[in-house]
Amino acid sequence: MRHASFDALVIGSGIAGLRAALEIAQGGARVAIPTKDAPTDSSSDRAQGGLAAVLSDDDEVSLHYDDTLVAGDGLCHEGAVRVLVEEGPARALELIEWGARFDRVEGGALALAREGAHSRRRILRAQGDSTGREIVRTLVARAQRESRIVLMPRLFSADLVLAGGRCAGLLALDETSGEPLVLSAPAVVLATGGAGQVYRDTTNPPQATGDGIAMAYRAGAEVMDLEFVQFHPTALMLEKAPRFLLSEAMRGEGGRLVNAAGERFMPAIDPRGELAPRDIVTRGIVSEMRRGGAACVWLDMTGLEPAFVRARFPTIAATCAAFGLDIARDRIPVAPCAHYLMGGVKTDLWGRTSIPGVYAAGEVACTGVHGANRLASNSLLDGLVFGARAGKAVLDSGLDPVPGSLAAAPEVLAIAAAEAAETVGELRGIMWDDVGILRDGETLERAIRAILRLEQGLRPRPLERPGIETRNQLFVGRLITESALARRESRGAHFRSDYPRREAGRGRHSIIAPGAAAPDLPIIPVPRSGPADLP
């Protein structure tokens, strides 16, 4: 088995991973970035909306702080929010210094947009609706100029390797050669993104299979708040079309949600109308679809200047045009899709997990910064701010060499590749139908039983990607469902029809803890289900 050694590993080449790797390399350490596919294949690259940061004279950090807390529905970790909004402007300006080309108005000032639940225009954007792609381009270019960074595309991460209770490296598969290899390092930063592919309808790319959460949990790390899955209100809803995200900024610029009769319905649900937090808009759309017996509602931009609409959203315009829709003149059919995971591997404010030497940043991590419902365009900022912090924490750890040899890698359990597609398809249907936007105890228990039945198909197999991804999705889907069953209230993105009210007072975090839970957060104990636990 091949073997290579580095000072640190960063798994994933989205915004959080690239920013963490740059911090580590600029501190003098040699870091490898193994990534499943190409360096630009990530959720970050697809992000349309923008980067939220206070950079205008009529905005204040305190307002961004308050907006984030309100959207988080009483569950945000206030310290994490303070870090996000206070360090965010510097991270945004740093990107500009590194060559990021954000949109500007005549005269050269930054063109700042407004999105749902923001009280000010503070959203930086690039090429109208390609902000994530521009940030990734900037960071990849910076990483390619850094001699201490080794980009390792098409290297699939299978499992963390521990030695003496701490991180020792990574077991991986070189998909180009088909060979397994072990990468040894005293520090690993998980930046693997989210888990949207556990749902039938999602805006996430194929890579979002929950690998980092599953690896961390198997290694003994705590995971937190996994029941909070954000469903984006507006994804393109056309037969045979991909569930393409239609940016929140479209409503921020004046787009309206209407039913089949052309009537607005959101103002009757929330005084903020289409600019209410995402969880409220999503449930409003579902309610209207059920009331009218329709498979979608419509996003209407026809009241705006057509030239402005097409220029402001060029990628969305081109995608919709490919399916015969003119976003400036046609109403666009939309419905909610799984989009973002607020929960993840539990970390402190420096990306440290409960396993020494293992760090996490970006969507795979949970600092509590997003609470029960992420504020629009805070995700790219999260990746930048906490990616940089995780990188600094890695450097501060001392990076002592891993003792001994890691040549003998652990056996990996996975299901056969031939079984993967059928199993994943069934899992995604279970998650969408029973662990989706509206939940209740009976369907959640049914989902756990069904997932446990699928898990019985796990068998020892050779190292291969489809089977391991399937295993990861099964584990993460069950952890999401167990957490949702344990939370007997409705809060943010988590809505229980059998417990429709929010618990009084500050929200309690749910932690699935192989080890001891951190003392600074209230805990909902979430047991690991087994076949004997449910009827």
- Residue 518 has, within 13 A of its CA and on its CB side, a CA count of 21
Angle at which helix 78-97 crosses helix 378-396, to 10 degrees, equals 90
Residue 288 CA to residue 284 CA, distance in Å, equals 6
Q: Are 166 and 54 in contact (CB under 8 A)?
A: no
Q: Which residues are known catalytic residues? A: 278
Alpha helix segments (H runs only) across 220-371: 248-252, 278-292, 306-312, 314-321
Q: Are 304 and 328 in contact (CB under 8 A)?
A: yes
- Contact partners, residue 213, CB within 8 Å, separation at least 6: 192, 195, 223, 226, 344, 345, 364, 472, 475, 476, 479
Residue 120 CA to residue 14 CA, distance in Å, equals 27
- Contact partners, residue 38, CB within 8 Å, separation at least 6: 153, 154
Which of 483, 493, 511, 496 is CA-nearest to residue 442? 496
Lookup: tokens for 75:
């569950």
Helix (H, G, I), strand (E, B) or coil at 368: coil
Residue 403, burial from CB neighbour count under 10 angstroms (0-12, 13-18, 19+): exposed
If DSSP states are collapsed to H, E and C, what string results for 410-439?
A: CCCEECCHHHHHHHHHHHHHHHHHHCCCCE
